[in-house]
Chain A
């Protein structure tokens, strides 16, 4: 064998190129061709998808607005010790007046006020009042400014205002992540937010446990169906599969509106229950705009994603194993539990992770049938986006959610393999 190998490596191709070298070149050419085919799409995804997400997530630590808008103030505050318990010296006030005058011309003053308002209420009013007053001040003659500023708004004379401003004056901040887990450092040290403003940890937790419950319910309902599909004659299986694929292909909005119609106070289910007499007419069940509505609608919507991977695994389990177990004396339950079920575990893993990944990112269904008590973290992100415009917090919440999903994606890849994802 060795001598043969030496023979081949010493063979020369046309033009005197050694065979080994020529093969390596052919392989390289093949690799380049494959990469060239992939390149357009890869570039498209990286530029159009990954980089935008990356830069959005970078907003969660980016905090240059205070530094950019109030550079003199930030510099003057360096010399002031915020732990001294005293208000900053006159120079800081003078710098602030100068900064605000410039910022007013550039129309950036309210951006910084809005930024600070995310951390503690009041800054917008303080800046607005200050802007109105300082318009015609002259830095050279009208000083000192400290008392005048405090006269404009007493907030300028409060220590917290300045401690907050100094804390959030660095260009990178962990502040958004702290708010994303219900902490703040507006007073100079990290403290939990008051209970009435702590909502994010609760929402992350709710998203996780409700997704887990939905995943479990989908498994509970999906397993028997997949088992049946895998064990009836193929003719019937194909027909029954259509009943699974139809919801799979039906628009998410259609299915959500269907549940909205079914679950309403005046909806079909309540109507039926009243007609049967199980529920009094004036005491209809509240099944919508709460957690119940979200759980039932999402279980229905995600059920096909559980059934299909389960079915594709169960199809490959040879029926002879169960028969062998029974012939050796196992009863139906033992044969199922000790022989069939362990072989279906890969399908359970695939389906459960898939359903869970999809559930934690859900937005539409909780938004439409969830109400305030059925809200998921995605809805909070959308709210921060639309209503508050707090993009740094959107980035921080988004990063936490994304990291959770990516960990699950990694587990999915280990358990199932991305190349083994099956659709329909």
Chain B
């Protein structure tokens, strides 16, 4: 989000990266497969 704000990334790209990271974290923690 901070990268999107400073113009280093687009909003879509920032959200995609965050989604991927969050998904990996939740999988790793065993919330789903």
- Is A bound to B? no
Residues of B within 8 A of A (CB): none
